[in-house]
Amino acid sequence: MVLFNVSRVETTPFGDQKPGTSGLRKKVKVFKQPNYLQNFVQATFNALTPQKVRGATLVVSGDGRYFSKDAIQFGMYWAVDGYRGLRFTIKIITKMAAGNGVRRVWVGQNGLLSTPAVSAAIRERVGLDVSKQLVFGSKATGAFILTASHNPGGPNEDFGIKYNMENGGPAPEGITDKIYENTKTIKEYLTADLPDVDITAIGVTSFCGPEGYFDVEVFDSASDYVKLMKSIFDFESIRKLLSSPKFTFCYDALHGVAGAYAKRIFVEELGAQESSLLNCVPKEDFGGGHPDPNLTYAKELVACMGLGKSNPEVEPPEFGAAADGDADRNMILGKRFFVTPSDSVAIIAANAVEAIPYFSAGLKGVARSMPTSAALDVVAKNLNLKFFEVPTGWKFFGNLMDAGLCSVCGEESFGTGSDHIREKDGIWAVLAWLSILAYKNRENLDGGKLVTVEDIVRNHWATYGRHYYTRYDYENVDAGAAKELMACLVKLQSSLAEVNEIVSGIQSDVSKVVHADEFEYKDPVDGSISKHQGIRYLFEDGSRLVFRLSGTGSEGATIRLYIEQYEKDPSKTGRDSQDALAPLVAVALGLSKMQEFTGRSAPTVIT
Ligand code: G6P
Ligand code: ZN
């Protein structure tokens, strides 16, 4: 048994460690400052309180993104293959965990775990003890997830860290506020002089320190997660779909951590062709790309699916999907067809009970974030389901799920998920769609015409009406200018008469604004109130304009503009969404004086 000592290391605070929507995200060069990571980790331990940290089980892993080339200097061992940065950070956090009296740390092999797999591991996994005996049903106390999600990676790009709680979900504001307060006054951190643990090999290594034993268990990144997926979906029926010559499939991991799961699930378990996987080798810089699954950044998949600039001679696959860096986001595409995330969650909710065994007893309720379109609301109303509208950020769904009020939820930002874990889940969303396709085609695979993704979406619109929807992102705008723009929009809300005068001056044929406010949410479970969650302009015909500042960027500000219009008449649900929304877009740009404030004549990304 290797013994270790604990020491206290003096440090001084950094002023910029306020966690955003999903943890602390900064440029790698910021994280590279001595003690920057250590301060944040110790501030988190202090916020959780020493009593909770002592004896805890912590998951520590991430999406494999670059942290620091300098990590190599910590020994050749770190340089033998990729994920140097990740190993470096895991090493720091593991030593600090031991120093703070944590009982054991669980690490995915090579330090890789998707965010949903971390959430699942916290909630339940089959652990090993030192003698390699299985410990059934172990739960963890929480996790450090090393990711900046969909932000690019590499020496000049982003790194991130966030803490998840024992329910498997992101830390609530009460904790992240405490962490931030602690980072402003931190004077020292605790660390142990542990030797390196080989995180490439599965197994348990045990140490003994001043407060007793400390174990590091390295486990297979995918096995537990695959088991969980098998307990939710009917793999047999999906396998039948994927092996049918009528059905073709394509999955793009954008070189994020989803690649570590895609081969195991889609190819090995479900029989998809290996050639159907694009960019499924996790890379620390995501191959130089932007690992965000949308129509702008998932270029290869978009072209492969026959959207945008594609080769008209090649027949696109029937189904395509992509994930972000940490595999919690998803984009769903049909042949030459884009499914908006807002429609995706509504369609999953509408079909879940029939198509997905996990939901066969019925849905407890459904929820969406405020800027997400109201497509889900219509489904909830028709199916008589409990419905919740929460602020942006997955953590708000967690409370509802813990209270048994919500089964399926989603966000316009390409996040979809359920109460199987407390994070959104990119691979789950793909399996949900494949389940719906398998169900709709259960009698067509041997003969008959395939029901396509596009058919499913168009039928949904015919039944429930269509919410035309688009989002304009203005990335890396001057932060001061963005604030001013938002302040002006809030000020304008005090006079609807003035608003409507401006609106009709820009576009005479849109309906009237009947309500305008800043979204505020009272959590029905714990009563907490979240204010300033986005500026809304609601129109008489159900249309909406929403303005928000992104909470996930690492530089400047990103303004998001969400535009939505409801069309109930089935004969009018087939239009191109940019055409249908053009008048409302003009109103939004005029009302906000977008160009005047930001100097931008066009958005960075349109989805
Ligand atoms: C993360 C969260 C999501 C949220 C999104 C919003 O991905 O996990 O729940 O919707 O950020 O990002 P934004 O940049 O719009 O604040
Ligand atoms: Zn993500």
Strand bridging mode 544-549 / 557-567: antiparallel
Q: 265: CA distance to ligand 1 center in Å? A: 26
Mean pLDDT, contiguous 10-residue spans, the chain (607 residues): 94 94 88 92 97 95 73 34 63 94 93 95 73 65 94 91 95 92 98 89 93 93 94 96 94 96 97 95 92 94 88 90 98 97 98 97 97 97 97 92 97 97 98 98 90 97 96 93 94 92 89 94 92 94 94 82 94 91 95 93 90
State whether the beta carbon of 393 lies less than 6 angstroms from ligand 1.
Answer: yes
State whether the beta carbon of 552 lies less than 6 angstroms from ligand 1.
Answer: yes
**How far is the CA of 451 from the CAs of 301, 447, 568, 583, in angstroms?**
21, 12, 23, 34
Which run of H or of E encompasses 188? Answer: strand 188-192
Is residue 474 within 8 A of residue 598, CB to CB? The reply is yes
> Which residue is closest in CA terms to ligand 1's atom 5?
393
Domains plus CATH for the chain?
A: 2-221 (3.40.120.10), 225-464 (3.40.120.10), 466-606 (3.30.310.50)
What pLDDT was estimated at residue 89?
A: 84
What pLDDT was estimated at residue 308?
A: 77
Q: 517: CA distance to ligand 1 center in Å? A: 21
For a mutational test of ligand 1's pocket, the pick from 411, 486, 519, i.e. the residue with the most ligand atoms closer than 8 A to its C-beta, is: 411
Place of tokens 């031991």: 98
Is residue 85 within 8 A of residue 68, CB to CB? The reply is yes
Q: Which two tokens stand for residue 122?
A: 């916290």
Distance of CA 375 to the CA centre of its chain: 20
Which run of H or of E encompasses 184? Answer: helix 173-185
Give the nearest ligand 1 atom to 393 CA. Answer: 9
For a mutational test of ligand 1's pocket, the pick from 118, 412, 552, i.e. the residue with the most ligand atoms closer than 8 A to its C-beta, is: 552
pLDDT tens per residue, range 274-296: 999 999 999 989 999 999 999 98
ipTM score for this prediction:
0.97
**How far is the CA of 347 from the CAs of 126, 248, 320, 387, 458, in angstroms?**
33, 21, 16, 15, 11
Degrees, nearest 5: CA angle 539-496-519? 65
Q: What is the DSSP letter of 263?
A: I
State whether the beta carbon of 550 lies less than 6 angstroms from ligand 1.
Answer: yes
For a mutational test of ligand 1's pocket, the pick from 18, 21, 162, 330, i.e. the residue with the most ligand atoms closer than 8 A to its C-beta, is: 21
Residue type, 263: K
Place of tokens 């962490």: 179
Strand bridging mode 104-108 / 212-219: parallel
Closest CA to 121 of 134, 103, 97, 137: 137
State whether the beta carbon of 425 lies less than 6 angstroms from ligand 1.
Answer: no
> Which residue is closest in CA terms to ligand 1's atom 15?
550
Is residue 251 within 8 A of residue 280, CB to CB? The reply is yes
What pLDDT was estimated at residue 508?
A: 84
What pLDDT was estimated at residue 445?
A: 86
> Which residue is closest in CA terms to ligand 1's atom 4?
393
What pLDDT was estimated at residue 275?
A: 95
Is residue 69 within 8 A of residue 158, CB to CB? The reply is no
In this prediction the pTM is: 0.93
User: Looking at the annotation, which residues are catalytic?
Assistant: 149
Give the nearest ligand 1 atom to 551 CA. Answer: 16
pLDDT tens per residue, range 55-107: 999 999 999 888 743 332 333 333 334 445 667 788 899 999 999 999 999 99
Spell out the residues 6+ positions from residue 61 whose beta carbon is closer than 8 angstroms to its own: 86, 90, 106, 107, 108, 111, 112, 113, 118, 143, 145, 146, 221
Q: 22: CA distance to ligand 1 center in Å? A: 7
State whether the beta carbon of 394 lies less than 6 angstroms from ligand 1.
Answer: yes
Give the nearest ligand 1 atom to 394 CA. Answer: 9
